[in-house]
Amino acid sequence: MTVSMIVAKGINNEIGKDNDLMWHLPSDLKFFKAVTMGKSIIMGRKTFQSLPKALPGRKNIVLSSDKDFIAPGAVTVTSIEDALKESETEEVFIIGGAGVYKEFFPLAEKLYITEVEFSSDEADVYFPEISLDTWNAEILDEGEENGLKYKHILYIRNK
Ligand SMILES: NC(=O)c1ccc[n+]([C@@H]2O[C@H](COP(=O)([O-])OP(=O)(O)OC[C@H]3O[C@@H](n4cnc5c(N)ncnc54)[C@H](OP(=O)(O)O)[C@@H]3O)[C@@H](O)[C@H]2O)c1
């Protein structure tokens, strides 16, 4: 099984504020959909609650310490091990948020990163630092939307 992460982050690794994203980039949501469609996706309880509903066409796995947490359209698990056991695809995607990225980071082999030319000191959640000693980067594409430039970069672990 390959553990991959997918995230959109700002210049200083900002990923969100008040349980929401800090930008509106519909083209990035399309990228997210294309990359994750058909796969198992693992997320924290707060990220699940930030979505309008479970993401269709993917097996949604939600981590919570509350085994009775009801996540319609998703499976609730209470540990990283159980989240991976519930995954049904060879490539499983960690889709956030901050705590979950941090916990799975040592297991991740691929990072699908949207680097957004955005910074804010009001963010309250961050992605871990990506060290270029450990990761090889390949730029997949770049664009601009709503006045924000972004790049899609695939990082593959080299050690
Ligand atoms: N920019 C992006 O691409 C992106 C992607 C995803 C999320 N986000 C943003 O990230 C923020 C949410 O992230 P967050 O860090 O606050 O919360 P989160 O990681 O989504 O959820 C945290 C919760 O997950 C559960 N959890 C985590 N690890 C667990 C474990 N090992 N075992 C059992 N339960 C576990 C706990 O739930 P309980 O409290 O129920 O025990 C914990 O409180 C929002 O602002 C969201 O918009 C951004």
The pTM score is 0.98
Reported as a single tens digit per residue, the pLDDT across 63-102 is: 999 999 999 999 999 999 999 999 999 999 999 999 999 9
Position in ligand 1 atom list of the atom nearest CA 101: 19
| Domain that includes residue 145, residue range | 2-157
What is the count of structural domains for the chain?
A: 1
Of how many residues is the chain composed?
159
Distances (CA, A) of 149 to 23, 113, 115: 11, 14, 9
Find out whether 77 and 71 touch, Cβ atoms under 8 Å.
no
Question: CA 43, CA 36: separation in Å to the nearest integer?
Answer: 13
User: In whole angstroms, how far apart are CA 147 and each of 14, 77, 116, 117?
Assistant: 18, 39, 11, 10
Nearest ligand 1 atom to the CA of 21 is: 47
pLDDT tens-digit readout, 1-27: 999 999 999 999 999 999 999 999 999
CATH code where residue 139 lies = 3.40.430.10
To test the pocket of ligand 1, the residue of 70, 125, 150 to mutate (highest count of ligand atoms within 8 Å of its CB) is 125
